[in-house]
Amino acid sequence: MSTQSLTMTLTNDDMRFEAVVGSGHTIVMDDGAGDTGARPSELLGVSLAGCTAMDVISILRKKRQAVARYEVRVTGTQVDAHPHNFTRFDIVHVVEGDAIDPAAVARAVELSCTKYCAVGTTLASGALEIHHAYVIRTPGGEELSAEVLVTGPHASAAALAASA
């Protein structure tokens, strides 16, 4: 089993954060007021699209499909009330090229969503546990830490809100 990690740091007095991911790349996030980066919930769709897109184009290339252009469109439906959790994602793969085999595209999408895409299978499984903890550092270098809550698997947003 492998572990993926990142560090997110507040970079101003507003809501602008920079995340440095394990590969060393930086992603900027912000709220609507600051508007200097993507919103965190937007990045969930980006992660889903990126994961399945890389799978599907790789499979299509192995199947020798002459793809001239490829894009993935993701639409997420969120509830209006806090915490604005997603209830559905629709993913549409748009493939352009001469003599593209619909069966090859369908099989590539099927393999991505059932075998290869870690983001999609994690979201769809409902089996994810999220452990929430904190560390407080004092100016003197002391640390206080604790685990606050473990959410999932199969926890509904309404049940979590009711327990708070």
- What are the structural domain ranges in the chain? 1-37, 39-125, 130-163
Whole-model pTM?
0.85
What's the mean per-residue pLDDT of the chain? 93
pLDDT at 163 over 70: no
Cα 77 to Cα 115: distance, rounded to the nearest angstrom = 24
- 3 Cα distance to chain centroid: 16
Cα 156 to Cα 123: distance, rounded to the nearest angstrom = 13
Q: What's 39-125's CATH class?
A: alpha beta
